[in-house]
Amino acid sequence: MASSVSRVGQTARGAYRLLLRSVSETFKGDDFTLLAAKKEIRQKFEDSRDMADEKARSDLIYEAYDAAEFIKTHVVQAEMTGEGRYKMSATQSMSEDQPPEGWVEPPPQKCS
């Protein structure tokens, strides 16, 4: 049993790190937004740290990986330039439909 808890912990750590990398890349240069995103991620993981229900915990980990993918592929940081115009730079990953680096396929679930 201890090994399954350990695997879940490693997966949660991986999801946490992937989320941090995703927001760091997306909000590079915007310290205010980057700090707010990191605080939010930390708070969500801290709130569920002692969760006993393994299914709910697994679902949250899956959501974290999904959120990291969404941030990398759908969130663009725009900068206001002169004359009320905005400059944004899309990346190649925004046009691809691939799972993010470190993504783990969730285990199959039994039907009830």
The pTM for the full model equals: 0.69
- The whole-number pLDDT of residue 92 equals 66
Contacts of 64 (CB under 8 A, 6+ apart): 12, 15, 16, 18, 19, 45
> In this structure, how many other beta carbons lie within 10 angstroms of the beta carbon of residue 91?
12
Extract the tokens encoding 17. 């790190």
- The whole-number pLDDT of residue 16 equals 94
- The whole-number pLDDT of residue 75 equals 86
- The whole-number pLDDT of residue 3 equals 42
- The whole-number pLDDT of residue 80 equals 81
- The whole-number pLDDT of residue 99 equals 66
pLDDT (tens place) for every residue of the chain, 112 residues total: 444 444 555 688 999 999 999 999 988 888 999 999 999 999 999 998 888 888 888 889 999 999 998 898 888 888 888 888 888 776 666 666 666 667 777 778 787 6
Domain boundaries, the chain: 2-89
From the list 10, 4, 18, the residue with the least C-alpha distance to 100 is: 18
Question: What is the separation, in whole angstroms, between the first and last Cα of the chain?
Answer: 23
